[in-house]
Structure 1
Amino acid sequence: MSVSTYLAAATPPRLAVGGITIAIPVLAVEQHVGVAVGGLLASAALGPSIVAAPIAGAMLDRSRRPGALIAGAGIVIAAAYAFAAFLGPVPAWAVAIALVIAGTVTPFVFGGLSSFVTESIPEERRAYAIDALAYNLGAVAGPAAVAAAAALGSARIATLAMAAAALVGAVATVPLRLRPAAHPDGHERPSFLGTIAAGFRHIATHRPLAVITASGTLSQFGSGGLAIAAVALSVARTGDAGEGAVIVTAFAIGGLLGALWNSRRPPRRSPEWVMGWGFAATGLCTVAAAADLGPAWAIAAVGASGLFTAPSAAAMLLIRKQQSPPELRSQVFTVGAGLRAAAAAAGAAVAGLAAGVGAEVLIVAIGVVWVASGAMLLAYPAGAPAIDGSAD
Structure 2
Amino acid sequence: MGVATYLTAATPPRLAVGGITVAIPVLAVDQLGDVALGGLLAAAALGPSIVAAPVAGAMLDRSRRPGVLLAAAGLVIATAYAIAAFLGPVPAWAVAIALLVAGAATPFVFGGLSSFVTERIPDERRAYAIDALAYNLGAVAGPAAVAAAAALGSARVATLLMAAAALLGALGTIPLRLRPVASDHDRGSMLGTIAAGFRHIATHRPLAIITASGTLSQFGSGGLAIAAVALAVARTGDAAEGAIIVTAFAVGGLLGALWNSARPSRMRPEVEMGLGFAATGAFTVIAAADLGPWWAVFAIGVSGVFTAGSAAAMLLIRKQQSPPALRSQVFTVGAGLRAAAAAAGAAVAGLAAGAGAEVLIVAIGVVWIASGAMLLAYPKGAPAIDGSAVSGATAPRS
TM-score range, shorter chain: over 0.9
Give the partner amino acid of 1:264: A
Q: Is the 8 A contact 1:254 1:304 kept in 2?
A: yes
**Which residue is equivalent to 2:135?**
135
TM-score, reference length from structure 1: 0.98
Give the partner amino acid of 2:109: V
1:356 equivalent in alignment to 2:354:
yes
**Which residue is equivalent to 1:240?**
238
1:370 equivalent in alignment to 2:368:
yes
Q: Is the 8 A contact 1:54 1:196 kept in 2?
A: yes
Report 1:250-329 matches (<5 A).
250-329=248-327
**Which residue is equivalent to 1:169?**
169
The Cα of 1:190 is off from its aligned counterpart by 2.1
**Which residue is equivalent to 1:78?**
78
Q: Is the 8 A contact 2:133 2:254 kept in 1?
A: yes
- Partners in 1 of 2:18 and 2:292 — Cα distance? 30
Secondary structure of 1:31 counterpart: helix
Give the partner amino acid of 1:213: T
The Cα of 1:183 is off from its aligned counterpart by 2.8
Q: Which runs of 5+ in 1 are unaligned?
A: none
Q: Is the 8 A contact 1:129 1:262 kept in 2?
A: yes
Q: Is the 8 A contact 1:33 1:88 kept in 2?
A: no
1:333-391 deviation per Cα after TM superposition (whole angstroms, max 9, x unaligned): 00000000010011011111111110000000000000000000011000000000000
Give the partner amino acid of 2:8: A
The Cα of 1:47 is off from its aligned counterpart by 0.4
Give the partner amino acid of 2:21: T
**Which residue is equivalent to 2:383?**
385
**Which residue is equivalent to 1:200?**
198
**Which residue is equivalent to 1:44?**
44
1:153 equivalent in alignment to 2:160:
no
1:56-104 deviation per Cα after TM superposition (whole angstroms, max 9, x unaligned): 0000000010000000000000000000001111121111110000000
Q: Is the 8 A contact 2:187 2:325 kept in 1?
A: no
**Which residue is equivalent to 1:120?**
120
Q: Is the 8 A contact 1:9 1:169 kept in 2?
A: yes
- Partners in 2 of 1:183 and 1:218 — Cα distance? 34
- Partners in 2 of 1:354 and 1:177 — Cα distance? 48
- Partners in 2 of 1:336 and 1:199 — Cα distance? 11
Q: Which runs of 5+ in 2 are unaligned?
A: 392-398
- Partners in 2 of 1:3 and 1:188 — Cα distance? 29
The Cα of 1:294 is off from its aligned counterpart by 1.8
**Which residue is equivalent to 1:94?**
94
Q: Is the 8 A contact 2:62 2:182 kept in 1?
A: no
**Which residue is equivalent to 1:191?**
189
- Partners in 2 of 1:365 and 1:289 — Cα distance? 12
Give the partner amino acid of 1:40: L
The Cα of 1:172 is off from its aligned counterpart by 0.6
The Cα of 1:296 is off from its aligned counterpart by 0.6
1:53 equivalent in alignment to 2:53:
yes
Aligned residues: 390
- Partners in 2 of 1:251 and 1:280 — Cα distance? 15
Secondary structure of 1:295 counterpart: coil
Moved over 4 A (4+): none
- Partners in 1 of 2:44 and 2:181 — Cα distance? 31
- Partners in 2 of 1:33 and 1:222 — Cα distance? 32
The Cα of 1:115 is off from its aligned counterpart by 0.2
Give the partner amino acid of 1:312: S
- Partners in 2 of 1:161 and 1:288 — Cα distance? 38
Give the partner amino acid of 1:87: L
Percentage of matched positions with identical amino acids: 84
- Partners in 2 of 1:115 and 1:333 — Cα distance? 6
CA gap of 1:358–1:120, structure 2 versus 1, over 3 A, is: same
The Cα of 1:181 is off from its aligned counterpart by 1.9
**Could you tell me which of 329, 332, 338 is aligned with 1:331?**
329
Give the partner amino acid of 2:380: A
- Partners in 1 of 2:203 and 2:2 — Cα distance? 36
The Cα of 1:189 is off from its aligned counterpart by 3.5
Secondary structure of 1:307 counterpart: helix
- Partners in 2 of 1:241 and 1:190 — Cα distance? 53
- Partners in 2 of 1:313 and 1:159 — Cα distance? 28
**Which residue is equivalent to 1:343?**
341
- Partners in 1 of 2:186 and 2:133 — Cα distance? 38
Secondary structure of 1:308 counterpart: helix
- Partners in 2 of 1:300 and 1:22 — Cα distance? 24
- Partners in 2 of 1:190 and 1:119 — Cα distance? 22
1:2-35 deviation per Cα after TM superposition (whole angstroms, max 9, x unaligned): 2000000000000000000000001111012411
The Cα of 1:188 is off from its aligned counterpart by 6.5
Secondary structure of 1:372 counterpart: helix
TM-score, reference length from structure 2: 0.97
Q: Is the 8 A contact 1:24 1:41 kept in 2?
A: yes
**Which residue is equivalent to 2:396?**
none
**Which residue is equivalent to 1:67?**
67
**Which residue is equivalent to 2:16?**
16
CA RMSD across the alignment: 0.8
**Which residue is equivalent to 1:104?**
104
